[in-house]
């Protein structure tokens, strides 16, 4: 199951796991894009279930998870990908609405899906949760305040969950990408494409496919191997705030 599968890293993960032999549940808010992805993945031989809902809506999450039956009822891998950044304001000038959206999506949405899917994994004594965190969760960068805080929460929640399931064979991975060129920056700048393009100017950024490859590697590791955390950066990026542009 991949949340936020309508674009970017989530879409790439759905495609990579489908090509790797998995049947895939794709979720997101944009029904048309989900069904287009479903049709594409079915052409490569994967069985695909598309569920349209917003991870911020706990009732909708419950309804979606409760609808799973047959082969879909047992989720082997949960990719908690749904997330976003909004704005680059100073913390004391930030938008309350942007804050609510980031906290509700990046933290509460991840918790909603974890709470509803992981009990089944523990009961079956198998499963893997892959959380898409960020280099921003390691240290704050200028004007990243609330977004960085949400990704620091993803790290803490990943670490805490790994402790909670340690008696079982369930594995937990936190992936921490740096600069990835998706619609992430377009969303952050509320649709301003020119501002988004400047984020990646002068450096070859990562792609969603790069992150999906790491996610698939973690899921494909032998059962006794738990890839707990991976920091993935572009070659000329040293940290969340150190980027060499040419």
pLDDT in tens, 17-58: 999 999 999 999 999 999 999 999 999 999 999 999 999 999
Q: What is the DSSP string of 36-83?
A: HHHHHHHTTT--EEEEE--TT-HHHHHHHHHT--GGGGS-SEEEE---
pLDDT at 64 over 90: yes
Residue position matching structure tokens 């032999």: 21
pLDDT at res. 29 = 95
pLDDT at 193 over 90: no
pLDDT at res. 10 = 97
CB atoms within 10 A of CB 35: 14
pLDDT at 186 over 90: no
Cβ–Cβ under 8 Å, residues 207 and 181: yes
pLDDT at res. 196 = 80
pLDDT at 192 over 90: no
pLDDT at res. 69 = 96
Phi, psi of 82 (to 5 degrees): -55, 125
22, 92, 141, 147: which one is catalytic? 147
Residue 147 is a catalytic residue: yes
Which residues 6+ apart lie within 8 Å of 73 measured at CB? Answer: 120
Condensed to tens digits (0 to 9), the pLDDT of residues 126-174 reads 999 999 999 999 999 999 999 999 999 999 999 999 999 999 999 999 9
CB atoms within 10 A of CB 43: 9
């Amino acid at each position: 199951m991949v949340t936020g599968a309508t674009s970017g890293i989530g879409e790439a993960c759905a495609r990579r796991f489908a090509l790797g032999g998995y049947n895939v549940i794709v979720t997101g808010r944009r029904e048309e894009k989900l069904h287009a992805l479903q049709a594409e993945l079915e052409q490569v031989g994967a069985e695909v279930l598309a569920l349209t809902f917003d991870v911020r809506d706990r009732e909708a999450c419950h309804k979606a998870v409760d609808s799973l039956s047959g082969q879909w009822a047992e989720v082997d891998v949960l990719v908690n990908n749904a997330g976003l950044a909004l704005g680059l304001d100073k913390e004391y000038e930030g938008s309350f609405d942007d804050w609510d959206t980031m906290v509700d999506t990046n933290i509460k949405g991840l918790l909603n899906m974890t709470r509803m899917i992981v009990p089944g994994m523990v009961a079956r004594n198998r499963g893997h949760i892959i959380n898409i965190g960020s280099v921003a969760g390691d240290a704050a960068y200028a004007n990243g305040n609330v977004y960085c805080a949400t990704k620091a929460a993803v790290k803490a929640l990943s670490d805490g969950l790994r402790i909670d399931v340690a008696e079982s064979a369930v594995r937990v991975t936190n992936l921490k990408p740096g600069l990835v060129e998706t619609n992430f920056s377009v969303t952050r700048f509320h649709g301003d494409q020119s501002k988004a393009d400047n984020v990646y100017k002068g450096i070859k950024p990562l792609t969603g496919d790069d992150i999906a490859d790491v996610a698939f590697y973690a899921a494909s590791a032998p059962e006794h191997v738990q890839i707990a955390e991976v920091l993935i950066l572009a070659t000329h990026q040293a940290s969340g705030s150190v980027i060499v542009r040419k």
